[in-house]
Amino acid sequence: MSSSPLRQVAVLGTGTMGQGIAQVCASHGLVTHVFDIDLARVEKAIANVGTSLGKLVAKGKLTEDAKAATLARLVACSDLDRACRGADLVIEAAPESMDLKVELFTKVARITSQEAWFGSNTSSLSITELGSRIGAPERTIGLHFFNPPPVMELLEIVRGMGTSEATLERALDFAKVIGKTPIVVRDTPGFATSRLGVAIGAEAMRMLESGVASVQDIDRAMELGYRHPMGPLKLTDLVGLDVRLAILEHLHREVGEQFRPPSILRQMVRAGRLGKKSGRGFYRWTEEGPIADEVFVKKQ
């Protein structure tokens, strides 16, 4: 694999993570093609990046010129060929479905050059399986960003069984380019961060089910007692309850009973209470900020 410098990136997916990853890449000088089959979604994602950058300008953390330069590096694409042709790196931020990711990267592999490499933002699915099924194991690696990507410092790099040393080095170089601190983990279910994070989140939900404490007090326990920047229930709202449920179901199958999803999580997903993206989860998400939902307060 060539060691040519990274110039062009394609980000596939325009959800919270996709637009955040695109912002990070473009902010650090990389031409970034943002893809979704619906062009309106791409344009909305780029507009959201503009809003995010505008807040930094208002706080004096970014100049207007830097904002304009970042937005100029974002290219809206609804055609996969246009998005990926010429890309040195393709990052998928699609929903947590192995079949969907395989289908997407199989198409990408036909479009890109043999020097291009592929990064998956999956938080739990097997990089080894993904690389094998798309026929490019040596060029496939996990690039697990954290929400929100422009703020969170960590990049979890997941090496599959077939991932080459060259691809790993490229991933480490990429982390440096975009200002992230990397950790390298072996491809095991849940990697390191998701396995630890969902374990804490699931236990917080079980505590809530049992009436141990309120939503707000469970979160405060971790924020003030353990210096977590955000409590596990608020973090679950931010990540998305449907995403957390998918991860727990995967870990329950792969690892064991300790990852069985709590009943309250299944019930809330069925009710469409997915967290911040739906406006309600363990908190009600208002323009003024999140408010702990009183429905969870146990009457004494």
User: Are 211 and 101 in a shared domain?
Assistant: no
What's the rounded Cα separation, in Å, for the pair 273 and 90? 32
User: Are 158 and 182 in a shared domain?
Assistant: yes
pLDDT in tens, 30-51: 999 999 999 999 999 999 999 9
User: Are 153 and 278 in a shared domain?
Assistant: no
- For the entire predicted model, the pTM comes to 0.84
Residue 15 is assigned to a structural domain of this protein: yes
Put the strands of the sheet holding 74-77 in their side by side order.
Answer: 74-77, 31-35, 8-12, 89-92, 117-120, 140-144, 154-159, 181-186
2 band by pLDDT with thresholds 50, 70 and 90: very low
Least confident of 84-98, 183-197, 259-273: 183-197
298 band by pLDDT with thresholds 50, 70 and 90: low
The predicted model gives 89-100 an average pLDDT of 94
User: What local confidence, expressed as pLDDT, does residue 194 receive?
Assistant: 84
User: What local confidence, expressed as pLDDT, does residue 116 receive?
Assistant: 97
User: What local confidence, expressed as pLDDT, does residue 104 receive?
Assistant: 97
299 band by pLDDT with thresholds 50, 70 and 90: low
Q: How many domains does the chain have?
A: 2
Q: What's the whole-number average pLDDT of the chain?
A: 94
User: Are 91 and 146 in a shared domain?
Assistant: yes
96 band by pLDDT with thresholds 50, 70 and 90: confident
Using the 3D structure, point to which of 186, 219, 241 is the last residue of a domain: 186
Give the angle 67-237-70 at the CA atoms, nearest 5°.
Answer: 10
Pairing mode, strands 89-92 and 181-186:
unpaired
Q: Is the model's pLDDT at 106 over the cut of 90?
A: yes
Q: Is the model's pLDDT at 1 over the cut of 80?
A: no
User: What local confidence, expressed as pLDDT, does residue 147 receive?
Assistant: 83
60 band by pLDDT with thresholds 50, 70 and 90: very high
Q: Which domain holds residue 53?
A: 8-186
User: Are 213 and 153 in a shared domain?
Assistant: no
User: Are 142 and 55 in a shared domain?
Assistant: yes
What's the rounded Cα separation, in Å, for the pair 281 and 274? 5
Pairing mode, strands 154-159 and 289-292:
unpaired
CATH code of the domain containing 233: 1.10.1040.50
What's the rounded Cα separation, in Å, for the pair 161 and 64? 44
Least confident of 27-41, 123-137, 169-183, 187-201: 187-201
User: Are 104 and 240 in a shared domain?
Assistant: no
Using the 3D structure, point to which of 171, 186, 201 is the last residue of a domain: 186
Q: Is the model's pLDDT at 4 over the cut of 90?
A: no
User: Are 175 and 201 in a shared domain?
Assistant: no
3 band by pLDDT with thresholds 50, 70 and 90: low
User: Are 163 and 32 in a shared domain?
Assistant: yes
User: Are 140 and 94 in a shared domain?
Assistant: yes
CATH code of the domain containing 123: 3.40.50.720
Residue 300 is assigned to a structural domain of this protein: no
The predicted model gives 47-72 an average pLDDT of 96
Using the 3D structure, point to which of 167, 186, 205 is the last residue of a domain: 186
Residue 281 is assigned to a structural domain of this protein: yes
How many residues make up the chain in this entry? 300
Q: Is the model's pLDDT at 163 over the cut of 90?
A: yes
Q: Is the model's pLDDT at 124 over the cut of 60?
A: yes
User: Are 156 and 35 in a shared domain?
Assistant: yes
